[in-house]
Amino acid sequence: MSPRAGTSGVTPDRQESMRDTAAQGDDFRVLVVDDEQLFAEALAAEIASQGLACDLAFDSGTALALSTSNCYQAILLDHRLPDGDGIQMIPLLLARQPKCCIIVMTAYEAIAHAIQAIRQGADDYLVKQASTGQLVERVLEVHQRHRIRASLAGWDEHRREGLLGDCVAMQRVREQLQMVAKHPQTPVLLTGETGVGKEVAARYLHKLTVGERSPFLSLDCVALPSGLAESLMFGHEKGAFTGALQTTRGVFEEAADGTVLLDEIGDMEPALQGKLLRVLESRSFQRVGSVKPVTVQARIVAATNRDLAQLVSQGAFRHDLYQRLSVFPVHLPPLRARGSDVQLLAQHFAEFFCSKMGKQLPPLSGEVLRVLQGYDFPGNVRELKNMIERAVILAGGNGIEPGHLPQRVFTRQIEIGSPDNAGPGRLPSAIDFVPGVDTLESLEKKLIRYALEQVGDSRTEAARLLGISRFQLLRRLQKYGLIQQTEEQ
């Protein structure tokens, strides 16, 4: 089959992006159930053009037979079929395909039918249009969620080690750490912005090198108290200074053949920089108050979010120490440069905190994932982790919703466009926001009301204007009490 000309409403750029995602290869399979043969074939061809396997059924009997013998991740089900009611088929299909996403299609709008479909177990309820674009995009959203679950399942080993990510940059980070793990005396310099996971990478390297049998010790160079820093690093002999009542070992000695992480190395005092250089060059040190050398067995890892080369040029960091630490540099990318890793990490953290808190929540919705994907995350992975922990605490049985995310992630949504774009049939350039009074839900409610006013209360047009499906709009109308109870009848 080949798609009919003009059947897709997906823009070329969006289509290319979705095809790249779908073409990554997986076991995702779609079943289209519709007695309108031309429409069904056009829809199936468009889905297939995105790199997804797709089967066709023109009646309920064939659909049930196919769902018995095949595994489907998404089923597009027509409301009315020649041999039965599509909505009544939903429990039968779910009995055969319990993890399948069912999207009910209909030629006309009916709120009562939408509610009935959801109660039977459908995930969405969409009106068929001349364009198949909306249906295809919905399938691709389901495929993206499926890909996230599959990726997380394949992350088991990396989850244990803690260094997660599918993007090319993170794959390269793991490869570099796996290579240097074979050479424990080689110092490693981890660079990257605050929150990218430099300590996580150091622990990953530690486990690759010695496993769990040896200590991993971290020393924050910013927090080292003046006058005690040398003692903390190298230890001291009894009586070496006032208050030294007994001989004490420093981190280099306590770590044995494990790992010492010198965090924020760019903030190390100049006097200590020279002593650290001697440790790196001779693999030995002396306790404070002693002349006896102690051999360093531990791997030394340094981490910084600063530009050491610039610090060298400013005279704030020793050039020779910089050269010695730079033998094996590893740069961790910011989260905003890691593409769909944002979604994978978000789902991972959601599962982690659900398990920790004893909660059961459905997977993150496409809407939540889109919001997260559009945020820059200046605090990187640490910020995302904290954000998801808060959302899991706030979430109820329906799962994490956009309203459970902090307001800062919606800054771009509040500033919708320029004043030149305002006018009839368009969204406003900005929404009035009162800090401390308005909530995300109240802003969403304002925007929905505005959209309905702009299009003469047409829910279909309002949904298009808001960039969501009509079914998603109906759910929000019900949630915010903007729909009369009699309309559900």
Instruction: For residue range 171-194, list pLDDT tens digits in order.
Output: 999 999 999 999 999 999 999 999
**Residue 185 · residue 299 · CB < 8 Å:** yes
**Residue 122 · residue 90 · CB < 8 Å:** yes
Confidence at residue 131, expressed as pLDDT on a 0 to 100 scale: 65
Other beta carbons within 10 Å of 63: 29
- Looking at the domain that runs over 168-332, which CATH code has it been given? 3.40.50.300
Q: What is the dihedral of CA 172, 173, 176, 180, to 10 degrees?
A: -170
Closest C-alpha to 261, from 295, 298, 310, 208: 298
The listed CATH number (1.10.10.60, 3.10.20.30, 3.30.300.30, 3.40.50.2300) that belongs to domain 415-489:
1.10.10.60
196 exposure class (CB count in 10 Å sphere: 0-12, 13-18, 19+): buried
Instruction: For residue range 19-49, list pLDDT tens digits in order.
Output: 444 444 457 899 999 988 998 999 999 999 8
Confidence at residue 398, expressed as pLDDT on a 0 to 100 scale: 82
Is the pLDDT score of 417 beyond 60? no
Measure the CA–CA gap between 18 and 49, rounded to whole angstroms. Answer: 10
Confidence band of 456 (pLDDT split at 50, 70, 90): confident
**Residue 436 · residue 402 · CB < 8 Å:** no
State which amino acid sits at residue 475: R
**Residue 350 · residue 400 · CB < 8 Å:** yes
- In a 3-state reduction of DSSP, which class is residue 190? strand
Measure the CA–CA gap between 21 and 467, rounded to whole angstroms. Answer: 21
Domain boundaries, the chain: 12-153, 168-332, 339-412, 415-489
Average pLDDT over residues 102-123: 80
Mean pLDDT of the chain: 82
Measure the CA–CA gap between 441 and 387, rounded to whole angstroms. Answer: 18
Please tell me if the domain spanning 12-153 has the same topology as the one spanning 168-332.
Answer: yes
Other beta carbons within 10 Å of 104: 26
**Residue 302 · residue 277 · CB < 8 Å:** no
Higher pLDDT, 239 or 268: 268
Outline where 283-431 has alpha helix (H): 308-313, 319-325, 341-357, 366-373, 380-394, 411-414
Residue 405 DSSP label: S
Question: The tokens of 57 are what?
Answer: 């059924």
**Residue 173 · residue 225 · CB < 8 Å:** no
Q: Quick one: what percent of the chain has pLDDT higher than 90?
A: 37
Place of tokens 């020393």: 219
The listed CATH number (3.40.50.970, 3.40.50.620, 1.10.3210.10, 3.40.50.2300) that belongs to domain 12-153:
3.40.50.2300
Measure the CA–CA gap between 293 and 284, rounded to whole angstroms. Answer: 6
Other beta carbons within 10 Å of 290: 15
Q: Is the pTM of this model over 0.85?
A: no
- Looking at the domain that runs over 339-412, which CATH code has it been given? 1.10.8.60
